[in-house]
Amino acid sequence: MIKEFKLPDIGEGLHEAEVVTWFVKKGDPVKEDENIAEVQTDKAVVEITTPYSGVVHERGGEEGESIKVGETLISIETESEGMNEVESETEQPNVEEGKEASNTPPRRVKAAPTVRKLARQLGVTISEVTPTGRGGKIIADDVRFHAEDLTDKSNEASVPSTSTYSEPIKGVRKKIFENMTHSMNEIPQCTGMDEVDVSRLSEFRGLLKNEMQNGTLTYLSFIVKAVAFALRENPRFNGRVDKENMLFHYQADIHIGIATATEDGLVVPVLKSADRLSVEEIASSIEDLSTRARSKKLRSDELSGSTFTISNTGRNGGFFATPIINPPEVAILGVHSIKRKPVVKDENIQIGDVMGMSITFDHRVIDGEHSAKFMSALEAYLEKPELFIFKGK
C-alpha cells in the first residue's frame, strides 16, 4: 500500500516550504521517525521525519523546488507485496545502450544518527558508503574515508580555478535574496552614522566580567540593553507599518533580533522582551541563540516576532555600514568595530575606545529628527554605563 505524507504546517502559518536537502531517494528503505528531508521555511531550515516505515515510492519535489502545505512531500510503500510491485516496475529502467539494469534490491543502511549527520555535512550519500563496522554498520571513519575518496576524484576531474561556474540560489540564501529585494524595493531607507566613545563601557565591562558566574560578557550584551532603553524612550523605532490600512502600530513589547552569520547565510534569532532582561541574562541568551543558530537547532518561534534588529559587524573590522531594514520592522542598528582613536574630554585630547554606529530607518514614518533623538539616547547609555544600574532591568 502506498501512503502519502503531506507537508504539514510546521508553524507560523506556513504556506509553502522549499526542499533544501533530500536524505532519501526513490527505492530507499526508511523507518518511522527517520529524517527524510530538510525544508526551508520563511524563518528556518527544519528537518522533516517520516511517519511511516517502508520504501520510498516517490518524492514530491526536487531540491530547490517549493511544496505547498497539504501537498504530497513523499509517498512510502508500506506493504511487502506492494514493495515487490514497485521493484518489478523499476527492474527495467531506461539505461544507456550496452548497460544492464540492476535487479539488486536497495540495501538497508545501518548507521547511527550522528554518523548520518556527518554524512550530510560532508555531502556524502550514506547508502554509497562501504561499511566496516560490526554487523555491516557504517561508522564515522567510513564516511570520512568515502568523503576523502570523492574529494580526490573530484580534484582529478576538476576544471581550472579560473573557470566560471554557477551555483543555485536556494535555502536560506534564497530567503535572504527575496527579503532583501522586497525591503529595498518597498521601503525608502535612510542611514545615519555616528561615533560613540565607549571607553567607560570598556572599563565597566571589565569589572562585571569578573563578577559573572558563567558565559561571556560581550559588548553586544550592553548594546542590546542600551537599545532596549532607547526604544522605550523612542517607541516609534519599535513600530510597524500597516500599508493596507495606512496605520502605524506602536509595539508594546520589545523583541530584539540579532543578525547572526551561519554557513548557510544570515539568520535573525530573537531576544524576546529584551527590556526585561539583565545584561547577564542577555549575554547568556545571545550565546545560546547564536550557538544553536549555527547548528540549525533553533525553533521557528525563536526566529520570528522581532520588533527591532541589531547587525553586529564589529568582528569584521568595518567602522560604518548601511544595514538593510528587516521587514516589517521600521529600523535596524548597525554596530561596528571599536578602534583606539583621539577623543576630546574636558577640552583635552585623549586616546579612547571609539565605536562606529549606523541607524537605517524607514523614511516614510521616521524623520531625521527622530533618528537624531534615538541615537542621542543610545549614545548616552553607552557613554555612561552607570545609567544601567540606575535604570535596573
Q: Residue 13's Cα: distance from chain center in Å?
A: 19
Q: What is the DSSP letter of 69?
A: T
CB 309 within 8 A of CB 220: no
DSSP string, 118-131: HHHHTT--GGGSPP
At position 54, the amino acid (one-letter code) is G
Active site residue 363: yes
CB 240 within 8 A of CB 328: yes
Can you tell me the distance from the alpha carbon of 370 to that of 368, in angstroms, rounded to the nearest whole number?
5
Select which of 57, 182, 255, 363 is catalytic. 363
CB 213 within 8 A of CB 204: no
C-alpha cell, 182: 522586497
Q: What is the DSSP letter of 251?
A: P
CB 311 within 8 A of CB 348: no
Number of neighbours of residue 328 by Cβ within 10 angstroms: 17
At position 177, the amino acid (one-letter code) is F
> Catalytic positions, please?
363
